[in-house]
């Protein structure tokens, strides 16, 4: 051997530890570059008009993404109406009634697998089910596509958090003669309220950044929406459209749109994470 055995072991150990640290360091480079670049490119166009004005044609100064921001918020509300009731109630079923039965196992597994279905595929489903029969792109279709995506996420986070409620609390409630449904609704859910809220926030943050399923469900619109039954702009689709356009001023606006989107998504995410830092503290 070139080196003696002990030295070789020590060197291998040191170099591998170094490599692991280096991996963590290198992975930060794209993140930092992306954050700094979005901030640098996006900041100078960021003003109040960006939030309140419609997009302008190429070459016309000013203009904003007011309609797209409103559209994104609309889509989030519709998606929540579709996704939250199903997700939360299914999650309650899994944690309260589905400890050890085949049906619950199947649902759990299916929802895990559903969360892996590519979002663009969900878009095609929403297109076929909603856009085609209605004969036009609409916020409803986009919202339904996003709502479908929320369901598995909300289901599993709700289940995890409701499960965390100590069993003794349930027993105390039963001992007082409170029926099970009331125990679940007014004791268990109330205890896990903040936790469920965290799960909801995380899923909303996730769909707020989605583009793919909106391309052919909500589509796009250059004007203020007149209702939820017509094509609706969203921040993500607008950023995409402007990013691949050949015009410099649109590309600049894409960066500002990306900055707003990033602030929106990260704010929701960090709020949720703040809650989530210590899951135990969520109870109560």
Partner 1 sequence: MTNNGGAKPKALSLSSLSTSGFADKVFQKLTAFFAFLILFLAVLTAFTLWQASAPTIQKMGWSFLTSTDWDPIQGIFGSVPFVYGTILSSFLALLIATPFGLGISLFLTELAPMKFRDPVAFLVEILAAIPSVVYGLWGIFLLAPFMRVHVDPLLIKAGGTLVGLLTGITLIFLSSAVLGRFIKGIYGMVLSVVIGLIGGIWVGMMKMPFFQGPSTGLSLFTAGVILSIMILPTITAISREVFEAVPNSYRESAKALGATSWETILLAVVKPSRVGLLGAIMLALGRALGETMAVTMVIGNTPQVSANLLAPAHSMASVIANEFSEATSDLHVSALAEIGFLLMVITLVLNIVAHLLVWATATKFQK
Q: What is the DSSP letter of 74?
A: H
60 binds partner 1 (CB under 8 A): no
Applying CB under 8 A, which part among 49-57, 126-134, 138-146, 187-195 lies near partner 1? 126-134
Tell whether residue 127 is a contact of partner 1 (CB under 8 A). yes
Element (H, E) at 116: none
The only residue of 46, 107, 169, 263 in contact with partner 1, by rule CB under 8 A: 107
Whether the Cβ atoms of residue 228 and residue 78 lie closer than 8 Å to each other:
yes
Q: In the set 68, 150, 153, 208, which binds partner 1 (CB under 8 A)?
A: 208
> Which residue's CB is nearer to partner 1, number 189 or number 284?
189
Copy the structure tokens of residue 30: 């794209």
**Nearest-angstrom CA–CA distance, 23 and 26:** 5
Binding mask of the shown chain, residues 135 to 174, with x at each position contacting partner 1 by CB under 8 A: --x----------x--xx--x-------------------
Residue in the structure block whose two tokens are 């994470």: 273
Q: Measuring CA to CA, how many Å separate 168 from each of 144, 172, 183, 261?
A: 39, 6, 12, 43
Which region, judged by CB under 8 A, interacts with partner 1, from 138-146, 164-172, 180-188, 190-198? 180-188
Tokens 């004005």 correspond to: 53
The nearer residue to partner 1, 53 or 108, going by C-beta atoms, is: 108
Residue 179 touching partner 1 (CB under 8 A): yes
Q: How far is the CB of 57 from partner 1 (least distance, A)?
A: 21
Residues 8-47 that bind partner 1 (CB under 8 A): 9-10, 12-13, 16-17, 19-24, 26-28, 30-31, 33-34, 37-38, 41
Chosen residue from 64, 76, 96, 173 binding partner 1 by CB under 8 A: 96
Burial class (CB in 10 A: 0-12, 13-18, 19+), 58: exposed
Q: Residues touching partner 1: how many (CB under 8 A)?
A: 91
CB 225 within 8 A of CB 67: yes
Q: Which two tokens stand for residue 273?
A: 């994470």
- Does position 117 interact with partner 1 (CB under 8 A)? The reply is yes
| Residues 69/71/76/81 CA torsion (nearest 10 deg) | 150
Of the candidates 79, 92, 150, 187, which one interacts with partner 1 according to CB under 8 A?
Answer: 92
User: Closest distance between partner 1 and the C-beta of residue 97, in Å?
Assistant: 5
Is residue 175 at the binding interface for partner 1, with CB under 8 A as the rule? no
Sequence-distant (6+) residues with CB within 8 A of 236 are 72, 209, 210, 211, 214, 261
Element counts in the chain: helices (H) and strands (E): 14, 0
| Choice between 281 and 284, CB closer to partner 1 | 281
Which residues between 210 and 239 bind partner 1 (CB under 8 A)? 210-212, 215-216, 219, 236, 239
Q: Does 274 bind partner 1 (CB under 8 A)?
A: no
């Amino acid at each position: 051997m070139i080196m003696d055995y002990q030295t070789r072991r020590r060197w291998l150990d040191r170099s591998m530890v170094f490599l692991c640290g280096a991996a963590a360091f290198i992975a930060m480079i794209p993140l930092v570059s992306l954050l700094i670049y979005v901030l640098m490119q996006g900041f100078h166009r960021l003003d109040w008009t960006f939030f309140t004005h419609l997009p302008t044609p190429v070459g016309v100064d000013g203009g904003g993404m007011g309609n797209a921001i409103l559209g994104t918020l609309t889509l989030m509300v519709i998606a929540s109406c579709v996704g939250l009731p199903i997700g939360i109630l299914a999650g309650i079923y899994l944690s309260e009634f589905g400890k050890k039965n085949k049906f619950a196992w199947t649902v759990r597994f299916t929802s895990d697998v559903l969360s892996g279905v590519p979002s663009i595929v969900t878009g095609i489903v929403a297109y076929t089910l909603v856009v085609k029969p209605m004969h036009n792109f609409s916020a409803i279709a986009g919202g339904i596509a996003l709502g479908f995506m929320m369901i598995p996420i909300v289901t599993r986070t709700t289940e995890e958090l409701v499960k965390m409620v100590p069993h003794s609390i349930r027993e105390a409630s039963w001992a007082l003669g409170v029926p099970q449904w009331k125990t679940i609704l007014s004791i268990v859910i109330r205890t896990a309220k903040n936790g469920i809220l965290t799960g909801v926030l995380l899923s909303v943050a996730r769909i707020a950044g989605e583009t793919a399923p909106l391309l052919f469900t909500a589509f796009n619109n250059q004007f203020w929406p007149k209702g939820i039954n017509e094509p609706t702009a969203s921040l993500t689709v607008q950023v995409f459209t402007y990013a691949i356009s050949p015009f410099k001023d649109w590309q600049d606006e894409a960066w500002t749109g990306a900055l707003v989107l990033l602030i929106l998504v990260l704010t929701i995410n960090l709020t949720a994470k703040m809650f989530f830092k210590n899951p135990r503290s969520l109870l109560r």
